[in-house]
Amino acid sequence: MGASVAGIDGVLAADVNFASGLLTFEYDAAVDPREAVATLVRGTGHGVEPLGEDVAPAPPQTWWQRNRTTAAIAASGQFIATGWALGVIGVPEIVSTVLYALAILAGGLITWRRAWVSVKARMLDMNVLMTIAVIGAAAIGEWQEGATVIFLFALGGWLESRSLERTRRSIRDLLAFEPEQARVLRAGAEVLVPPAEVLLGETIVVRPGERVALDGVISSGDSALDEAPITGESVPLDKTVGDRVFAGSLNTSGLLQVEVTALAADSTLSRIIFLVEEAQAAKAPAQQLVDRFSRLYTPIVVGLAVGIATVPPLAAWILGAEWGSFASWLYRALVLLVISCPCALVISTPVAIVSAITRASRDGVLVKGGAFLEVAAKVRAIAFDKTGTLTNGRPAVVEISAENPRELLELAASLEANSNHPLARAVVKHAEREGVAPLAVESFEELPGRGVGAMIAGRHVRLVSPAFAAGIGDVREPLASSISRAEENGRTVLVLLNEGEALGYIAVADEVRETAAGVMDELRSAGMKHLVMLTGDNERTAAAVAADAGLTESRSRLLPGDKTSAITELRHRYGAVAMVGDGVNDAPALAAADLGIAMGAAGSDTAVETADVALMRDDLSALPGFFDLGRRTVANIRQNVALSIVVKFAVLALAVFGKATLWMAVFADTGVALVVIANGLRLLKKR
């Protein structure tokens, strides 16, 4: 289809998205070939509807337009059944032949039109080959077989389109969650407007039972929201003032006022829809391999068919040998023509990939393309970040040790007010609760993996890790012993240095996720050989968290570059490596890994855009299912490809020796395609 459209005058480039049924093309505005494109698409028997605000919607279809293909196939089948029945009771053969001819005309209604479009585009597709085969069958008197073949081909195509429609529903299902109107507060009154007309900072009202129209932050009210379209989590979450909400979420109880933080086109749901469409359209390595094979296979078999039809009869005529009639060799060639189009083989990979991506999106896992499903099947080692990944990501200050705790907190909060690190936020929030206001800072410096420093009231102050503090400052007893005990208890310690002298420390704790240990057990059961934590934290804290989370190993005091090196070393030992992190702080390690997985990505632009895979929920529970889906997807693709190739070559061999019929050839093509589709659709089911 894409190649046919690209051949129209004025069209610069064209592409068909198999998954979403979307045809996009670039064109010369001076020529404007849109009507010609629509005419061509309709000429092939497909419906076409323009998208966009500047085009008029397509006129509604009549009953005949919607059902003509079904009616034509039914009529073809009825003609064949009647012709066969009349032949059995002894009616003259000419009557049955006429009925079979009518069956060919009815069954080929769509095939002939598509074949003509392909011929004009100088393409040799299945419709052209099937047309030649049926005409050839009729030419040698095989009317019944020609009619049956075109009927089975049309019926198979109809079933195939209905089956593939299931894989396209995921986008429409997501679009159904986008409200058509938003209730906006303007001049003290509620106004209903399309979400696209709502501006940043405006307030929308979401009543119980309504869906949130745009991403935002609750400014008034509390409720339980069902975020299944975004995160895959079926249990509604309690939300209150200050919490984020996402477009498409269902407000189940209270009245909410939400301050809009993203335009309709930039909402989390819109980004998910766009990325799922992109992922479904992208070709996985297995599909690229199949496509290359198919481009060679078809011309070779067509050439073989031409040779079968001409060389043996011509040689027999020259040599005066009895090698069978011309009709028998032509019949063999027609069988080869039908086999020559690798429909089942071409569709074997994309149907599995699209089904798997759809299943993953329903489970709250955003996969950026089929290639990453294939990588997931190979992963045997997984590296995890600590803060926000294995832990809840909400660290809190649990201890302040100093002669003047309030002064220490004041200085620490002043330094951390300029950082977005989770530990920094914990210190600042604790200061706010204690009523401690930050001081002005000068010459602020950030020391990656070590801490922060600045000039405060003429003093050089640093808040750093204990190891770094010991190397650049004076940490005396009994402070050093207290720091060691805090670290042994799994706490992260931040030491405050004033002109190089330790004034005291702040201990921060972040609890391990309740589900972490269970997830690690599931991953081991699924064949993961090594589960390691990579963190910039100290050895004692890292060991305590790793033990609670059930990891194989922990590596501590790692700078961003060290994490990248660790990924490389793990790859040499175990093969493909996945890295799970927050998608921002761990960007180098995520990029270095064979598979970068960002978690808690709902609402995070950076995580969704940069990661190969994004867990939309803020937990690890979807991880084992994703890796299982990757392995099942690769196994499904192998099954489909093997079945397609084995059946094709078996019938091809039989055809060369005159043992195959046109019916068998249709099964090797359309029949196997249906089996392949049904097998691929199994991935849609939740396991």
SS3 sequence of 262-291:
CCHHHCHHHHHHHHHHHHHHCCCHHHHHHH
pLDDT of residue 230: 75
CA–CA distance, 101 with 93 (Å, rounded to integer)? 12
Q: Which residue has the higher pLDDT, 339 or 287?
A: 339
Q: List the catalytic residues.
A: 385
CB 229 within 8 A of CB 248: yes
CA distances to 280, 327, 632, 637, 646 from 287, rounded to whole Å, are 12, 38, 16, 9, 18
Residue 583 has pLDDT above 60, yes or no: no
β-bridge partners, 268: none
pLDDT of residue 303: 85
Average pLDDT score over residue span 288-292: 71
Q: Is 435 left (phi over 0), alpha (psi -120 to 50) or beta?
A: left
pLDDT of residue 46: 66
CA distances to 216, 251, 385 from 236, rounded to whole Å, are 17, 9, 28
pLDDT of residue 174: 63
> In terms of DSSP bridges, do strands 365-367 and 223-226 run parallel, antiparallel, or are they unpaired?
unpaired
Taking only the tens place, the pLDDT of each residue in 620-676 is 999 999 999 999 999 999 999 899 889 988 988 888 888 888 878 888 878 888 888
In single-letter form, the type of residue at position 334 comes to: L
Taking only the tens place, the pLDDT of each residue in 465-498 is 998 998 888 888 889 899 988 888 778 899 999 9
CA–CA distance, 496 with 506 (Å, rounded to integer)? 8
Name the token pair of 220.
């008034």
Interacting residues of 131 by C-beta distance below 8 A, sequence separation 6+: 108, 111, 112, 115
**489 CB neighbour count, 10 Å cutoff:** 14
Interacting residues of 369 by C-beta distance below 8 A, sequence separation 6+: 278, 279, 282, 284
CA–CA distance, 264 with 178 (Å, rounded to integer)? 9
Average pLDDT score over residue span 183-200: 91
3-state SS of 91-125? Answer: CCHHHHHHHHHHHHHHHCHHHHHHHHHHHHCCCCC
> In terms of DSSP bridges, do strands 381-384 and 577-581 run parallel, antiparallel, or are they unpaired?
parallel
β-bridge partners, 534: 555
Residue 132 has pLDDT above 50, yes or no: yes
Residue 148 has pLDDT above 60, yes or no: yes
Residue 595 sits at φ, ψ, to 5 deg, of -140, 110
pLDDT of residue 33: 82
pLDDT of residue 604: 58
Which regions of 32-88 does DSSP assign to beta strands (E)? none
For residue 317, the number of C-alpha atoms closer than 13 Å in the C-beta half-sphere is 7
Mean pLDDT for the chain overall = 83
CA–CA distance, 127 with 132 (Å, rounded to integer)? 9
CA–CA distance, 185 with 258 (Å, rounded to integer)? 10
% pLDDT > 70, the chain: 88
pLDDT of residue 608: 62
pLDDT of residue 53: 47
DSSP for 490-516?
A: T-EEEEEEETTEEEEEEEEE-PBPTTH
Residue 22 has pLDDT above 70, yes or no: yes
Q: Which H or E element spans position 553? A: strand 553-555
CA–CA distance, 127 with 121 (Å, rounded to integer)? 13
pLDDT of residue 375: 92
Q: What structural domains does the chain harbor?
A: 2-60 (3.30.70), 182-266 (2.70.150.10), 396-509 (3.40.1110.10)
CA distances to 18, 24, 204, 369 from 277, rounded to whole Å, are 10, 13, 29, 9
Q: Which H or E element spans position 191? A: strand 189-193
3-state secondary structure of 627: helix
pLDDT of residue 521: 94
Taking only the tens place, the pLDDT of each residue in 518-577 is 999 999 998 899 999 998 877 877 888 898 899 989 998 887 778 889 999 999 999 999
Name the token pair of 463.
């808040």
Crossing angle for the helix pair 343-362 and 672-681, to the nearest 10 degrees: 10
Residue 140 has pLDDT above 50, yes or no: yes
pLDDT of residue 170: 59
CA–CA distance, 106 with 113 (Å, rounded to integer)? 12
